[in-house]
Amino acid sequence: MRAILIVNPRATSTTVAGRNVLAHALANEVKLECIETRYRGHAADTARQAVIDAVDVIIVHGGDGTVNEVVNGMLSDDLPRTGPVPSLAVVPGGSANVFAGALGLPRDPVEATHRLLHALATDRRRRIGLGRANGHWFTFNAGIGWDAEVVAEVERLRSKGRDVTPVLYARTALARYVRICLRVPALTAQADGDAPVRGLHTAFISNTNPWTYLGSRPVQANPETTFDTGLGVFALRSMNAYSVLRHVAQMLRSRAKPHGKTLFRRANVGYLHVSCAKSLRLQVDGDTLGEYSAVEFVSVPNALRVVV
């Protein structure tokens, strides 16, 4: 079995020692090549070449952003489809590791490595569905508005040397909320050809549950959504402080079921069109893609094979 290990050395919880242990353990089981990413997009380029070279498994040791890059490289539209796409395996190395958590993988890299070795030895794999936002693949979530503004600001702070922590995300979310709550609602959403829903402030799109984590606590915007269903939609009609806090509390409950008059929520959506009265930021899997006035979200069943 041929495998390639893609390591993001700048990810929050990756270390040289951890990488070496992982590479050594894998090299005993598979024919392994190890690549450390050196620039933004390097993981995608490496994954694209791995598909061309007919590698069997692509293993990612990094955060959700690195996983997203790899998935977009593996499933790039410009690749020839002459053979099977490699399977994807993940050893968490970021701060949140939402995708790995949604797959039920251990957060600890050592435990995840043991799990991966056993899965490779027993050929334990599964097919999962993915989402696309204007053609860009995402594994667990996407969003327009509030969350995308938070992601962009956290990325800016991180580039200046700030540590990414749940406290930083919470403070940034509060600061961005103060700005957004004063805006006129600019979004219109239409799910699967239903009547358009207008007057929305922000929209969270889920491909699985949880939507993200606050530290170790799952944030469940669309608890019915899994890798085996369509997309989940969670959109706010009001940014009133009481309504927002109520929905945040609902999402943090162990048996979450967000509901309310100020909330537009749908499960198992195959297609969602979101238009904006003015361009707003879009994020996928915790990375900003830029500003858009219209976004098409599509659920793609059985898009990827993962080692679990």
> Domains of the chain: which residue ranges?
2-123, 137-302
pLDDT of residue 98: 95
Residues 74, 50: Cα–Cα separation, whole Å: 8
Torsion, Cα 266 271 277 282, to 10 degrees, reads: 90
Class of domain 2-123: alpha beta
Identify the pLDDT of residue 158: 84
Name the CATH architecture for the domain at 137-302. Sandwich (2.60)
Residue 53 has pLDDT above 90, yes or no: yes
In Å, how far are 38, 124, 184 from 42, measured between CA atoms?
6, 28, 39
What is the predicted pLDDT for the residue at 10? 82
2 with 31: CB under 8 angstroms? yes
Q: Is the pLDDT score of 173 beyond 80?
A: yes
pLDDT score for 216: 85
Rounded CA-CA distance 306/308 in Å is 6
294: confidence class by pLDDT, cuts 50, 70, 90: very high
3-state class (DSSP) for residue 61 = strand
Which pLDDT band, with edges at 50, 70 and 90, does 119 fall under?
Answer: very high
Joined together, the tokens standing for residue 50 give 């791995």
Tell me the per-residue pLDDT of 231-246, one tens digit each, with 9 for 90 and over: 999 999 999 999 999 9
Question: Residue 296: pLDDT above 80?
Answer: yes
Q: What is the mean pLDDT of residues 98-116?
A: 93
Going by pLDDT thresholds of 50, 70 and 90, the confidence category of residue 141 is very high
DSSP state of 126: E
Higher-pLDDT residue of 18 and 93 is 93
